[in-house]
């Protein structure tokens, strides 16, 4: 069914009725809170396979500091986390929570060394080898990379999913933050935490016509229930953002966007050097061709800096969010990531006994670069 067959009025009426039913539930995969500190929580997702049939090394997911974690667990049947759990992985995820006024004093070191460090150690402690795979998405990938560079001990492998690394190729966002008129100090002193509506407006200004394009797509596919469910869940996530702790934001802009310290090797974390060449574990940089938030060149730069002998770039079509949560991602990106981890599991030969499904090591997995 389509607009031309049903008519515009009937289509709009249907949309109104569908929207009136409310937004879809999100983040539905069963989980336990295994740690909480200040506003952040460490979630562990309940296994669907018995202990002997699970992959050995757990996976820690680090979402962006300014977005909700449930983009990785959007809807039952359309969830990256659910997919990984069903494939036999032991999955943990950081939920950054909602900063309140006092968190204006939370620093970059608090988040990147303190909170991520605690999450890595907690997850690694539950692993037989004392190490965990780490996947960081967007800003979460940048934070995970900096943390790994300064503290490589407990990280078995690093996946940077659309994570900005070289801010010299940071695109329009980098251009805005380097504009002489933009005073990050005044912004933090005035607001405390940088409010999410301001950041959301900035992201929308990167593609000013995007909301209109979405609206037309919504009308065009108003009779496609699967599309509507996915669209509404993604929009729910897209409008449920988190303010950025002020002091952390100040350093993020000054040292990464303006001074590009991670790429040029002068980044420090809690008094330690955080150089990319200190990372020697297996590294996978996932980049998206049409990512207008994190340009491909910025994300791919990770591989130029790390000293890992086992490093690869997985370049896929699509944009910053769609390429991670779409049906295409469920058929392409998710199985490829699972296979990459399985191939690097410390006990890969053990695997899933008698199971030759998509979780088994695949020679088609990304080749080292």
Partner 1 sequence: MNLWDQWKKGFGAWETATAAYLEQVLANPSVLGPAGAMLTAAMKTKAATDKATHSWWAAIGLPTRRDQERGLHKLNQLESRIADLEEQLAAARRPQ
Least distance from C-beta 246 to partner 1, angstroms?
Answer: 10
Q: Is 38 in the site for partner 1 (CB under 8 A)?
A: yes
Q: Is 106 in the site for partner 1 (CB under 8 A)?
A: yes
Q: Which C-beta is closer to partner 1: that of 111 or that of 365?
A: 111
Q: Which C-beta is closer to partner 1: that of 115 or that of 340?
A: 115
Q: How many residues bind partner 1 (CB under 8 A)?
A: 39
Least distance from C-beta 198 to partner 1, angstroms?
Answer: 9
311-322: buried (b, 16+ CB within 10 Å) or exposed (e) per residue? bbbbebebbbbb
Q: Which of 10, 34, 47, 187 is close enough to bind partner 1 by CB under 8 A?
A: 187
Q: Which C-beta is closer to partner 1: that of 102 or that of 277?
A: 102
Identify which range of 105-113, 149-157, 308-316, 352-360 contacts partner 1 by CB under 8 A.
Answer: 105-113
Least distance from C-beta 271 to partner 1, angstroms?
Answer: 15
Least distance from C-beta 108 to partner 1, angstroms?
Answer: 15
Task: Spell out, one character per residue from 207 to 246, where the chain touches partner 1: x when CB under 8 A holds, - when not.
Answer: xxx--xx--x---x--------------------------
Q: Which of 103, 109, 166, 291 is close enough to bind partner 1 by CB under 8 A?
A: 103
Least distance from C-beta 183 to partner 1, angstroms?
Answer: 4
Q: Which of 114, 141, 164, 305 is close enough to bind partner 1 by CB under 8 A?
A: 114
Q: Is 110 in the site for partner 1 (CB under 8 A)?
A: yes
Helix/strand/coil (H/E/C) assignment for every residue in the chain:
CCHHHHCHHHHHHHHHHHHHCCCCCCCCCCEEEEEEECCEEEEEECCCCCHHHCCCCCEEEECCCCCCHHHHHCCCCCCHHHHHHHCCCCEEEEECCCCCHHHHHCCHHHHHHHHHHHHHHHHHHCCCCCCEEEEEECHHHHHHHHHHHHCCCCEEEEEEECCCCCHHHCHHHHHHHCCCCCCHHHHHHHHCCECHHHHHHHHHHHCCCHHHHHHHHHHHCCCCHHHHHHHHHHHHHHCCCCCECHHHHHHHHHHHHHCCHHHHCCCEECCEECCHHHCCCCEEEEEECCCCCCCHHHHHCHHHHCCCCCEEEEEECCCCCHHHHCHHHHHCHHHHHHHHHHHCCCCCCCCCCCCCCCCCCCCCCCCCC
Q: Which of 102, 224, 226, 357 is close enough to bind partner 1 by CB under 8 A?
A: 102
Which residues within the stretch 125-184 sit at the binding site for partner 1 (CB under 8 A)? 172, 175-176, 179-183
Q: Can you give the binding site for partner 1, defined by CB under 8 A?
A: 2-4, 8, 37-38, 101-106, 110, 114, 118, 121, 172, 175-176, 179-183, 186-187, 189-192, 205-209, 212-213, 216, 220
């Amino acid at each position: 069914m389509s607009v031309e067959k049903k008519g515009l009025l009937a289509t709009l009426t249907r949309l109104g009725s569908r929207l009136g039913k409310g937004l879809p539930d999100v983040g539905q995969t069963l989980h336990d809170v295994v740690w909480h500190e200040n506003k952040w929580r460490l979630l562990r997702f309940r296994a669907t396979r018995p202990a002997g049939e699970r992959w050995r090394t757990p996976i820690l997911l680090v979402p962006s500091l300014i977005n909700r974690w449930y983009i990785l667990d959007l809807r039952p049947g359309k969830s990256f986390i659910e997919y990984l759990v069903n494939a036999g992985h032991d999955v943990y995820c950081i939920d950054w929570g909602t900063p309140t006024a006092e968190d204006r004093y939370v620093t970059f070191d608090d988040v990147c060394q303190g909170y991520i460090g605690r999450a890595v150690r907690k997850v690694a402690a539950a692993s037989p080898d004392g190490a965990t795979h780490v996947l960081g998405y967007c800003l979460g990938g940048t934070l995970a990379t900096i943390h790994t560079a300064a503290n490589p001990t407990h990280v078995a492998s690093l996946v940077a999913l659309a994570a900005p690394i070289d801010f010299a190729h940071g695109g329009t966002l980098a251009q805005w933050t380097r504009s002489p008129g933009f005073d990050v100090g005044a912004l933090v002193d005035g607001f405390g935490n940088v409010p999410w509506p301001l950041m959301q407006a900035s992201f929308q200004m990167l593609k000013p016509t995007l909301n209109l394009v979405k609206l037309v797509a919504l009308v065009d596919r108003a009779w496609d229930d699967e599309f509507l469910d996915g669209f509404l869940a993604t929009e729910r996530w897209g409008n449920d953002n988190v303010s950025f702790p002020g002091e952390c934001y100040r350093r993020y802009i000054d040292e990464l966007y303006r001074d590009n310290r991670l790429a040029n090797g002068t980044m420090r974390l809690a008094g330690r050097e955080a150089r990319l060449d200190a990372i020697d574990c297996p590294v996978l940089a996932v980049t998206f061709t049409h990512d207008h938030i994190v340009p491909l060149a910025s994300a791919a730069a990770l591989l130029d800096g790390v000293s890992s002998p086992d490093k690869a770039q997985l370049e896929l079509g699509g944009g910053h969010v769609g390429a991670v949560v779409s049906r295409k991602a469920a058929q392409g990106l998710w199985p490829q990531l699972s296979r990459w981890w399985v191939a690097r599991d410390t006990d890969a030969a053990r695997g899933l006994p008698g199971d030759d499904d998509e979780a088994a090591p695949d020679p088609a997995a990304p080749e080292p670069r």
